[in-house]
Structure 1
Amino acid sequence: MGRLKAYFESNDKRLIHKWDHYFEIYERHFQRFVNQKVNILEIGVQHGGSLQMWKNYFGEQATLYGIDIDPRCKCVEEDRIKIIIGDQGDRDFWKEIKPGLPEFDIIIDDGGHLIHQQIITFEEMFPVLSNNGVFLVEDLHTNYWSEMGGGLHSDNFINYSKNIIDSLNGWHQQPENIDLFTTSTWSICCYDSILVFEKKPRSQPFHEMTGNPSF
């Protein structure tokens, strides 16, 4: 059992609500940041339990920020956990607060789960994520729910991300297809209800051959 799952199962602090299979995904992508000096942003605070979980997991050098539209969430602030109240689906909100934010190494979107919120948050914050950072969007099963603005063939975040896959492969297309995602996105990992974007500076790929031909 991983540390996050163990924390969750023994949790007697603030409420945490997670799908069981998420913990393995978190550990896979977040483990390299443990006990490092990192800044972490979680959109969607609710009762603050997951922020306490991240604080425990990443260690004493981690600083955590939470964003939520519900002003009651301000009460979960504590040492190394700062809460900002605002609407993740409002570009003006992001433009107002970004100058005062640190550079984040991990961004977790567990917010309102509406399609426009996910897209706006990604477009505003992925470009300013650290060069080797991780952007994780969860609860993407809502992308298939009409009441959340989704549907199989809708303009949901999952379909939006498919264009980013093309951009990741931009070097193999026309020069005009090379963009921010081509030069800064290392991988896109897709799981049940989760997409993980990992950044890493990239230059044009090349290939070589070694050894002797067989025929």
Structure 2
Amino acid sequence: MIEIGLGCGMPYGPGASYPIWTTYFPNIQLNIVEYDETCGSAWAAQNPEAVIFFGDQSSVPFLHHVGAEVTADRLVDIIVDDGGHTMDQQTTSLRELWSYLRPGGVYFAEDLQTSFMDNYGGDSSRANLTKKTFIRWIHELVDDIMAAPAGVASHNAWASEIANIDCMAEMCALTKKEKGAR
């Protein structure tokens, strides 16, 4: 599993999800992506079994480094993006980490209300249709999935690998198709 965002700088503090993951998945191999090295290192000293990668989730080379390190022996089952929540961070993380997710695996993107918050690069007016927010990109991916049976070209070539997209308040889960699935 890869989790983007340890929770540094949040009121609940770093590592709040860690006990949940280890309780529900006792054999989990948890790999955390965190931007704040000072906070993350202090937390890691208390939790040496967790693997932490320090860097910017909007950096393509960094994400490929994380993906290559984490998947040296197998692809991951789950990716959770609870990181910085800017449009660039959310879209880059999904686009670049998707190939490291195993068929049947699930990618969770959280706090998607930031697509409507200007300070995250979102569009609070909902009127600027040229502004590419994460939610607009999710809509585009849904369009790609729905248009494929009609023979309409996809805007995102990898959309053909998506089995389904499930969204609810503030989050979406994208499931990768199993090998051989249509």
TM-score (norm 1): 0.70
Q: Quote the Cα distance in structure 1 between the aligned partners of 2:150 and 2:117.
A: 34
Q: Quote the Cα distance in structure 1 between the aligned partners of 2:22 and 2:181.
A: 34
CA contact (8 A) 1:74 1:85 kept: no
Say if 2:74 is the partner of 1:74. no
Structure 1, residues 122-146: CA drift from partner, whole Å, max 9, x if none?
0101122110100000001111011
C-alpha spacing 1:203/1:133, structure 2 compared with 1 (3 Å): closer
Identity fraction in percent: 26
Q: Quote the Cα distance in structure 2 between the aligned partners of 1:167 and 1:110.
A: 25
Say if 2:48 is the partner of 1:87. no
Q: Which residue of 1 aligns with 2:19?
A: 52
Q: Quote the Cα distance in structure 2 between the aligned partners of 1:139 and 1:124.
A: 19
Match of 1:161 among 138, 152, 156: 138
Equivalent residues, number: 163
Structure 1, residues 35-55: CA drift from partner, whole Å, max 9, x if none?
xxxxx1110002112122211
Q: Which stretch shows the higher mean deviation, 193-202 or 111-120?
A: 193-202
Structure with the greater alpha carbon radius of gyration:
1
Q: Which runs of 4+ in 1 moved over 6 A?
A: none
Gaps of 5+ in 1: 1-39, 205-215
Gaps of 5+ in 2: 8-13
Match of 1:100 among 65, 69, 72: 69
CA contact (8 A) 1:42 1:109 kept: yes
Q: In structure 2, give the amino acid aligned to 1:42.
A: E
C-alpha spacing 1:89/1:179, structure 2 compared with 1 (3 Å): closer
TM-score (norm 2): 0.82
Report deviation, 1:79: 5.1
Report deviation, 1:179: 3.4
